[in-house]
Structure 1
Amino acid sequence: MYVATHLIEKARRWPVDSQLVARRNAMVASTALAQRRAEREEVEEYLASRHQAPAPELPAAHAAHG
């Protein structure tokens, strides 16, 4: 009798338990994606700061005349 009651109770709780696991998985995935996004933006900002166009060089004729 105990086994049957236990199985019935487990079947009744399954939708709630399943939803809790799914919600936890979604939060973990969302956190991981947010971390990757933040890292990607940080790298993009760093690369953008490193690849700024250098100041244009003056032609030799202009540089000599000042």
Structure 2
Amino acid sequence: MHLPRNRPPRVLGQTVDAVRRWPVESQQRSRRNAMIASTALAQRRAELDDVEEFLADLGRVRVPEVAAQAAHG
């Protein structure tokens, strides 16, 4: 079997194409993973802010109540 000299075998061509695509596809996957992680972190920060705000509000309400109870008894 003789292959034409100017054309690489099909398998070799597919391998070369895969190697050429790899850096681009790898970068795209990395970017996607970073965006997912960033979104998850932003959601956690928002939840943490909500919890901190709730606890701060709860603390502000209780301090006067405790002071009033201590004053009366």
TM-score (ref. length: structure 2): 0.74
**Runs of 4+ in structure 1 displaced over 4 angstroms?**
none
Q: Runs of 5+ in structure 1 lacking a partner? A: 61-66
* 1-structure distance, mates of 2:43, 2:34: 14
* 1-structure distance, mates of 2:48, 2:17: 46
> 1:19 is aligned with what amino acid?
Q
Shift of 1:2: 1.4
Shift of 1:3: 1.1
Q: CA RMSD in A?
A: 1.5
* 2-structure distance, mates of 1:59, 1:41: 35
Q: Does 1:27 align with 2:42?
A: no
Shift of 1:7: 0.5
Q: Runs of 5+ in structure 2 lacking a partner? A: 1-8
Shift of 1:59: 6.7
1:7-26 pair list within 5 angstroms: 7-26=15-34
* 1-structure distance, mates of 2:49, 2:72: 37
Deviations 1:27-52 (A, max 9, x none): 00000000000000000000100011
Percent identity, aligned pairs only, is 50
* 1-structure distance, mates of 2:53, 2:10: 62
Q: Does 1:54 align with 2:64?
A: yes
TM-score (ref. length: structure 1): 0.81
Match of 2:6 in 1: none
